[in-house]
Amino acid sequence: MLRSFEWYVRRYLRTHFDRVLLDRGGSEPSRLFGERPLVVYLNHASWWDPLIGLIIARTQFPQRQHFAPIDAKALEQFRFFSRLGFFGVEQQTRAGAAQFWSISTAVLQSHNAALWITPQAAFADPRVRPVHLAPGLARLASRLDGVTILPMAIEYPFWNERLPVALARFGEPLLSDTMISSDEWQIRLSSALEETQDELAKFAVSRDFTRGTPVIRGRRRVSVFYDAWRRVLGRSANVPLVDERGSE
């Protein structure tokens, strides 16, 4: 079922994005701390985050088994998500916090597990500073040893085409440590994600396709009117026109 859903998501993203790019300047997955359980935490920029996360998870960490929390009510409505690694958590309740802790710690007992979370808890513009995170991840980092914690920034700018691009970047990995307090972890995690978002913002502003590794390329449709209009706009604004390989 996962392969079928992944095929659908890839097709869906190709329809709605010019391309999905992973910033080459970010941390390489191969640099992670050996064979340790992994937590990837990302900013919550839009509705698209889980779908982009799914494709990046499958392409960058194909050997891992992936999990992610989801609103318990949504999981009741779409039960097939549980077969994709999603687990239900009640929102904004003590019971939900307990569910997250219990399931997450069980998941992270496996060295090849990867837990994906959006600790901002609500949609937030990627330029908002400071970055505020819910305390659940910091508590997890302060109570477990030897878990790799990897920040990932994501945003969806419009560049030179009709459709937006999806950009992602991995930050520098951290290693969970019970000798560090939850409050200190909260500061470290927020700072690491904020720094990763700042670096990704530079990529977004550059409009430089060559800075990113293609994860997905959008579909190319032939349109005489669109191509002509695109060239008029490009010349009037002195914007370089690029083809699907990122070259002029």
- Determine the pLDDT at residue 248: 44
Quote the CA–CA distance of 54 and 123 in Å, as a whole number: 18
- Determine the pLDDT at residue 136: 94
Looking at 34-48, 70-84, 119-133, 171-185, which range is the least confident one? 70-84
Q: Which residue has the higher pLDDT, 145 or 218?
A: 145
Q: Is the pLDDT of residue 235 over 60?
A: no
pLDDT digits (tens, 9 = 90+) for 87-138: 999 888 888 889 999 999 999 999 999 999 999 989 999 999 999 999 999 9
Q: Is the pLDDT of residue 247 over 50?
A: no
Predicted confidence band at 3 (pLDDT cuts at 50, 70, 90)? confident
Q: Which residues contact 86 (CB under 8 A, 6 or more apart)?
A: 67, 68, 69, 70, 75
- Determine the pLDDT at residue 192: 99
DSSP string, 178-192: TTS-HHHHHHHHHHH
Q: Which residue has the higher pLDDT, 233 or 114?
A: 114
Count of C-beta atoms within a 10 Å radius of residue 32: 16
Q: Which CATH architecture describes the domain 2-236?
A: 3-Layer(aba) Sandwich (3.40)
b or e along 167-201 (b: 16 or more beta carbons within 10 Å of the residue's beta carbon)?
bbbbbebbebeeebeeeebbeebbebbbebbbebb
CA distances from 205 to 66, 116, 167 (A): 31, 27, 11
Count of C-beta atoms within a 10 Å radius of residue 11: 11
- Determine the pLDDT at residue 218: 85
- Determine the pLDDT at residue 1: 64
* Residues of the chain above pLDDT 90, percent: 71
Predicted confidence band at 64 (pLDDT cuts at 50, 70, 90)? very high
pLDDT digits (tens, 9 = 90+) for 159-214: 999 999 999 999 999 999 999 999 999 999 999 999 999 999 999 999 999 999 99
**Segments making up each domain of the chain, as ranges:** 2-236
Strands 86-89 and 165-170: unpaired
Mean pLDDT in residue range 19-40: 90
- What tokens were used for 5? 């859903």
> What's the mean pLDDT when you consider all of the chain?
89
